[in-house]
Chains A and B, each alone.
Chain A
Amino acid sequence: DAGVTQSPTHLIKTRGQQVTLRCSPKSGHDTVSWYQQALGQGPQFIFQYYEEEERQRGNFPDRFSGHQFPNYSSELNVNALLLGDSALYLCASSLGRSGRGWETQYFGPGTRLLVL
């Protein structure tokens, strides 16, 4: 049973560039959430995708955008990168079709982004 996978594992970009991160959910899951984790902090919610739509968004600027594909995989895009965007980006998958918000979210290993 494949767990949540993310690619790439590490990425180095320069200020102003754009980046795309990818996530494949756990087998059987249809919902993907993205989190940003700064060093020494807990993860912060960016947004959640369900049925190819952004269902909920956290307090992140429009530079952060996403997409969910028919196979439930997802991408996170960040435009006009800032030094402060350096962080571990985590993808979590869950089963959303039950309509219950308390379905367990299972996390992938993350993508570590460094902005220079």
Chain B
Amino acid sequence: GESVGLHLPTLSVQEGDNSIINCAYSNSASDYFIWYKQESGKGPQFIIDIRSNMDKRQGQRVTVLLNKTVKHLSLQIAATQPGDSAVYFCAENMNGAGSYQLTFGKGTKLSVIP
């Protein structure tokens, strides 16, 4: 769902289950995408990135999928752990247009139930 003001979309998952966090990005010219994890009181932490010439990229326990046709990005976390509880942001960049800024989505709060 969409967030309004302070109300972030929330995803609750059981420990050990897989999590899927979705993001609809805004600009079809964006060519670089990043997922960040932000724990309470901390700065965003880099998780994984993907360029627009790829559809899928895997890291340790995480996979990012990119669907440029519908401007959709997803982050899959395997075997979710309590330490994964945080707010997750997707960010996009238009490097091909000479832009250096990251544009962030609204974020999704992941809560892991032990």
Which residues of A pack against B, CB within 8 Å? Answer: 4, 31, 33, 35, 39-45, 48, 55-56, 58, 90, 92, 96, 100-102, 104-110
Contact = CB atoms under 8 A, between A and B. Distances in A.
Interface stretch (B13-21, B54-62, B71-79, B95-103): B95-103
Most chain A C-beta atoms within 10 Å of own C-beta, residue among B44, B51, B98: B44
Contacts of A56: 99-101
A58 to B, nearest CB: 6
26 contacts: A4-B43, A31-B100, A33-B102, A40-B3, A40-B5, A40-B6, A41-B106, A43-B44, A43-B89, A45-B103, A48-B101, A56-B99, A90-B44, A101-B32, A101-B98, A101-B99, A101-B100, A102-B49, A102-B51, A102-B95, A104-B46, A106-B46, A107-B45, A108-B43, A109-B43, A110-B42
B25 to A, nearest CB: 12
Contacts, number: 71
Contacts of A31: 100
A104 B106 CA distance: 20
Contacts of B44: 43, 90, 107
B65 interface: no
Interface of B: 3, 5-8, 31-32, 34, 36, 41-46, 49, 51, 89, 91, 93-95, 98-107
B7 A45 contact: no
A94 to B, nearest CB: 8
Contact of A42 (B31, B98, B106): B106
Contacts of B100: 31, 33, 48, 55-56, 96, 101
Nearest to B5: A40
A106 B47 CA distance: 10
A4 B44 CA distance: 11
Nearest to A6: B43
Complex A-B, nearest 7 residue pairs according to Cβ-Cβ distance, in ascending order: A42-B104, A101-B95, A40-B6, A102-B32, A107-B43, A45-B101, A107-B44
